[in-house]
Amino acid sequence: MSFFKGTYWSIIIISVLYVHFWNSELLAAQEQSLPISHQEQLIVVDKEKKIVRLKGWITTRRESHHCGIGWAGGSNGSASGGTKFLFETRVKPEEVFEGLTAIGKKPGNNLSRWKRSTPVQGDPVTIRVDWPGAERQYELSELVQDSKEAELQFRFGGNLKAAKKHKTGCIACFTSCYVAIVSNAKVVLSERKQHTFHFTHLAPPSGAEVELIIQ
């Protein structure tokens, strides 16, 4: 009997490991098919100008209650079968965290999953967007607006440990987020369903490649 029990649990463990490996390989293959060539430099950290630049693109979504900019390979990204982000990039959240730290930004690290009514803290962050043919660089608040006209006031929330643990891919969220590297201090997580953040007429179309400039 003990032999069969041991065999049973061995099969279960091997099956779980196989599924995990297969899912990892599938996500990697799906991410390969997304916009932006792997030959391009996806993130540039300019310590002198104190700017972090990301290569990205506009997704097919036109509105969101929460998710703004994210890694395509995360569980909220398009490599998982459907995206929750308005903007996506191949850059991982931890790379953005390291970039912001390198240009001197200090994270707030004041949120947790139990602090859903607490605004994010940390150094102020501005996000601008540029793309081929744009007349100028646009503030993210010019391209995305809230249905209740809430202001976008981004802060370097930090959350590196949570980002690595949950693997959602969240880089910048429109409400204060305990997972995202950057998020909006003007709307707390518990109120996210009351707000809808949508593209304005100034935003480029879905699929357009963009540069996200975080400073």
Predicted confidence (pLDDT) per residue in 85-117, tens digit: 999 999 999 999 999 999 999 999 999 999 999
Q: Is residue 16 part of a domain?
A: no
Mean pLDDT of all residues belonging to the chain:
88
Q: How many residues does the chain have?
A: 215
What are φ and ψ of residue 14, in 5° steps?
-65, -40
Between residues 28 and 76, which one has the greater pLDDT?
A: 76
Number of domains observed in the structure of the chain: 1
For the whole model, what pTM was predicted?
0.83
Give residue 17's pLDDT band: very low, low, confident or very high (50, 70, 90): very low
pLDDT of 74 above 80: yes
Could you tell me which of 179, 40, 42, 53 has the C-alpha nearest to residue 115?
A: 179
Q: Is residue 59 part of a domain?
A: yes
DSSP 150: -
Query: What mean pLDDT is predicted for residues 19-46?
Result: 58
Q: Identify the pLDDT of residue 35.
A: 56
Q: Is residue 27 part of a domain?
A: no
Q: Is residue 20 part of a domain?
A: no
pLDDT of 21 above 60: no
Q: Is residue 1 part of a domain?
A: no
Percent over 90 (pLDDT), the chain: 79
Instruction: Provide the b/e sequence for 75-103 (b: ≥16 CB within 10 Å).
Output: bbbbbbeebbbbbbbbbbbebbbebbbeb
Weakest-pLDDT range from 70-74, 146-150, 208-212: 146-150
Domain range for 49: 34-214
Q: What is the pLDDT of residues 160-180, one digit of tens each?
A: 999 999 999 999 999 999 999
Alpha carbon distance 60, 82 (integer Å): 10
Q: Is residue 179 part of a domain?
A: yes
Q: Is residue 114 part of a domain?
A: yes
Query: What mean pLDDT is predicted for residues 21-42?
Result: 53
Q: Is residue 18 part of a domain?
A: no
